[in-house]
Structure 1
């Protein structure tokens, strides 16, 4: 669907003066004029649910042109389905071999997702559980009983440091209290690749799941706050800056660094 708005004699210095917010069935168009925002259009009842990420707009002489694409109504979780299709189609070129770390409270879920993701990307699936048990010649459960959760987390941290030099791998990490991701000083090794936080939810639709994830981020949960990917977040850039990122890569901090006490006044470079 294409929407054209006549701007008439409104003085516009450039695209930066225009703000278009398209979300599901709502659309808001605002124009910065004389130092304030003027609403040109606002509706919460579009013709159908749209693909927010694929909304395109541009200026054509004295008209604002907005192209909207609607979602497939048969898809229960459209963003996830379409993101997976895009991932398998072109993300290998974008990732350039960068490894992915799957983090979450459930070791089993981490492993299952890592396997599926590895198949889609043509990567090697790795499980820290299997690697640790092979090294220690005992199960994680028996290891926990013998030495406690902290010992497992330390061992996984050493393993993640070793894996940080690997490429084209999807690494499923340990969930629960024994997971290294529970410790702030272990995340420096996860920053060698992209981290994806997984969480179980009782949400029955995609919008509810997004709201739940956003709430966890705002609450400051360690895994949610540190992960590169949870869901689509508008303030992701400021989160990256707070975590010490530089461009597409983070500035690796020394052991013991806690992101929750990092200086929020970090100035991002032009490349961010």
Structure 2
């Protein structure tokens, strides 16, 4: 039996984000401020559905959630952050203020942190972040005053994971996910070629990867547009050409590949995923859902249905509407989901590498021993 953990992110036009984590009957709702202007009709639901028959992994995945676009507000613009291995240290510059330890309130949670100080008869927020880069052990938090600085030491839950910064942001995710990927490529699939292209360029810049576009490669090869090729040769021919290109790209590392969207794309067909599994696959799915719950249910139905090729993807990002101005927002949601996916099984990049070295035989995720012949896999 496969296991699943589904999470979602909703970006509303009121510049606020609601994040929901769904594990069986447990639901946590966080309201996060998002200091970006003009988020008009931009909705992004983000989740991933790992598959495994391992009871141990199933329990582990129940604690995994995808939380993107966290807020961080601070009245203290100067702070220093360092990763010391099993713990991280945050130094907030207090400036010329006269306070004692009794005036300071440090409120750590598993994945958030609030720091406030009593000053001039009022409670002032020094820093408040809704989503730390990763989870901590709140009970082991230590803080103290050091001259004009407030020093906070946070104990990580995962001591092996490097934190680029205190908060999960575009900058910290691009650094952190690059390390987690270990050179594994990323493939973007979905109904819209344009969306795949836009997000692939954003991700490539952030990760330091090479952006590749199967539509551009196909049109350069055929010397005609996709539409004209389809009208003369048929949609099957388009999918066949793209499949051949994906086979060639499967041996490339450190690339973000934008695939052709719609019915004529190879990724829309369940039998054309052999070489897509060479990298981490992300479904940028346009949704009619109006809230997190319906988006989650929609994604779950698509995965269970399995008739659409996109349901093979390891990460799904649900988009309610589309505006190119929010490409970076969607790219950040994608990075956050990829981070959660890899942290649920840190061996995934190595398994992807093995899958490629064995020839992308279509046996993902249950990689067979050398000598396996996919052409005889279904023989009675």
Query: TM-score by structure 2 length?
Result: 0.43
Displacement of 1:204:
4.3
> Where does residue 73 of structure 2 map in the other structure?
none
User: How many angstroms does 1:246 deviate by?
Assistant: 10
Matched, 1:248 2:351: yes
Pair 1:159 & 2:245 matched: yes
Structure 1 CA distance, aligned partners of 2:307 and 2:27?
A: 29
Alignment of 1:31-42 (within 5 A): none
1:193 alignment counterpart: 279
2-side partners of 1:156 and 1:216: how far apart?
23
Kindly state the Cα deviation for residue 92 of structure 1 after the two structures are TM-superposed. Answer: 1.1
182, 199, 207: which one aligns with 1:113: 199
Q: Using a 3 Å threshold, how does the CA distance of structure 1 residues 130 and 98 change in structure 2: closer, same or farther? A: same
Q: 1:99 to 1:226 in 2, by over 3 A?
A: same
Q: Which residue of 2 aligns with 1:183?
A: 269
* CA separation of 1:94 and 1:216: change in aligned 2, threshold 3 A: same
- Where in structure 1 are there 5+ consecutive unaligned residues? 1-20, 26-48, 61-66, 68-80
Q: Which residue of 1 aligns with 2:126?
A: none
Number of residue pairs the alignment of both structures matches: 199
Q: Is the contact between residue 188 and residue 254 of structure 1 (CA under 8 Å) also seen in structure 2?
A: no
Of 13, 23, 26, 2:28 maps to 23
Equivalent residue, structure 2, for 1:144 = 230
Instruction: Report the 3-state secondary structure (helix = DSSP H, G, I; strand = E; otherwise coil) of the residue aligned with 1:198.
Output: strand
SS of corresponding position for 1:116: helix
Residues of 1 paired with 2:218 and 2:232: CA distance? 15
Secondary structure in 2 matching 1:191: helix
Q: How far apart are the structure 2 equivalents of 1:147 and 1:267?
A: 35
Match for residue 303 of structure 2 among 217, 224, 246? 217
Match of 2:258 among 148, 172, 190: 172
Contact 2:188 2:284 in 1 (8 A): yes
RMSD of Structure 2 on Structure 1 (CA): 4.3
Q: Deviations over 1:239-261 (max 9, x none)?
A: x9xxxx997337579999699xx
Mapping 1:30-109, distance limit 5 Å: 51=131, 54=134, 56=136, 82=168, 84-109=170-195
Which structure dedicates a bigger proportion of its chain to strand? 2
Q: Distance in 1 between matches of 2:133 and 2:300?
A: 17
What SS does structure 2 have at the residue aligned with 1:248? Answer: helix
List alignment gaps of at least 5 residues for structure 2.
1-25, 31-128, 141-154, 156-166, 318-336, 369-380
With over 3 angstroms needed to count, the CA separation of the structure-2 counterparts of 1:112 and 1:97, relative to structure 1, is same
Residue aligned with 1:188, SS: coil
TM-score norm. by structure 1 comes to 0.58
Q: Which has the bigger relative contact order, CA under 8 A and spacing at least 6?
A: 2
